[in-house]
Amino acid sequence: MIRIILHAKVAGDIDVRDAVNRLRDEGHDISVRVTWEPSDSEGFAIEAAQSSDVKTIVAGGGDGTLNAVVTGILKSGHLPLPSIGLLPLGTANDFARGCCIPDADPYAALKIIADQAPVPIDVGFCNDRYFINVATGGFGTDVTVETNPQLKKVLGGAAYLLTGVSRLANVGASEASFAGRGVQWKGRFLAMAVGNARFAGGGVEMCPNALIDDGILNLWIMPEFPEAGVPEALSDLMKQGKNGILDHLVSFKTNEFTVTSNSGVRINLDGEPLQSELVHFKVLPKKIRFHLPHGSSLLLDSDT
* Catalytic positions: 272
Q: Residue 138 and residue 302: Cα distance in Å, rounded?
A: 33
Q: Residue 14 and residue 32: Cα distance in Å, rounded?
A: 14
- Region of 247 please: left (phi>0), alpha (psi -120 to 50) or beta: alpha
List the end-to-end C-alpha distance of the chain, in Å, as a whole number.
24
Q: Residue 266 and residue 174: Cα distance in Å, rounded?
A: 9
**Cα 230–chain centre separation:** 26
Q: Which pairing describes strands 174-180 and 272-290: parallel, antiparallel, or unpaired?
A: unpaired
Q: Residue 23 and residue 4: Cα distance in Å, rounded?
A: 12
In one-letter notation, the amino acid at residue 42 is E
